[in-house]
Amino acid sequence: MKIFFNEALAEVTENTTAYQFRDWVDKNYDVVVLNGFPLSQDKILSEGDRITLIQKGKVPSKDELEALLIARHTPNIHKKLKNGKVAILGLGGLGSNIAVSLARVGVGELVLVDYDVVEPSNLNRQQYFVEHIGMKKTEALKNILEKINPFVNIKTKDVFVTKENIEFLKECDIIIEAFDDAKCKAMVCNAALKNFRDKYLIASSGMAGYYDSNDIRTKKIRDKFYICGDFEHEAKEGDGLMAPRVAICANHMANLAMKILIDEIK
């Protein structure tokens, strides 16, 4: 009977259990992942099952690492995510959180776009560290993502985005607007909707303060155009951007991008 072990074909006899297979390979493995789910009790293997073994505390080889990442998805879902190309415009509280989530799920190509540098006030909500202060956000975030998932192809564009220089977006499946400035948001959305009608556009509106988490939602505006946020609480004096709600909104956007790559893009 054929199964997959760490994404490579393997043969086992009928009625072999997952734990028996683990013991045959190496009893030192602590975690047995079967078809994307860690087992809490033994189970008989079936034809075509996918089993992954993990030893806690051991750093895997690069080849083993990708198999371990795939193990938490189904292979078909992983393939769709790996084939995806997503542009993130703005690498602040929204963009940096979006990029981290999409890298963790294995989106194949991320285009990171920003012109700014990391400064101390960014650290209250953005995915940077003190050591990154003064670095270009594109460079700092690329460094972080490569430590999370070395299998993501990361492209960076250190530019101030205008309607005249957005031609590079035509190579992407999904465009994510993650700017703070309302004028920049409107410019990018209008340009994308006009020039890239075949692309999916995800924008944001309202995530300031510490209001109810459940007010943040994902709304379809029209075909291939979505906005995430509470549509009310924009950042202003006395009502700033704070890590929890910004991250909630960012992950609405990341989750939607993932869903589009899996369900909508052929």
pLDDT in tens, 122-146: 999 999 999 999 999 999 999 999 9
At residue 76, the pLDDT reads 81
Q: Is the pLDDT of residue 63 over 90?
A: no
CA proximity to 25, closest of 38, 40, 41, 8: 8
Distances (CA, A) of 128 to 85, 131, 143, 208: 23, 8, 10, 19
The architecture of the domain spanning 2-63 is Roll (3.10)
At residue 74, the pLDDT reads 75
Strands 37-38 and 31-34: antiparallel
Q: Is the pLDDT of residue 117 over 90?
A: yes
Task: Match domain 78-263 to its CATH number in 3.20.20.70, 3.40.50.720, 1.10.1370.30, 3.40.50.150.
Answer: 3.40.50.720
pLDDT digits (tens, 9 = 90+) for 91-114: 999 999 999 999 999 999 999 999
Where in the chain is CATH 3.10.20.30? 2-63
pTM reported for the whole predicted model: 0.91
Who's near 219: CB < 8 A, 6+ residues apart?
A: 226, 227, 228, 231
Where in the chain is CATH 3.40.50.720? 78-263
Average pLDDT over residues 33-41: 92
Number of separate helices (H) and strands (E) present in the chain: 7, 12
At residue 81, the pLDDT reads 95
3 state DSSP class of 146: helix
Q: Picking from 57-71, 77-91, 101-115, 131-145, which range would have the lowest pLDDT averaged per residue?
A: 57-71
**Contact criterion met (CB below 8 Å) for 253 and 178:** yes
At residue 225, the pLDDT reads 97
Task: Please state, in angstroms and rounded to a whole number, the distance separating the CA atoms of residues 209 and 234.
Answer: 9
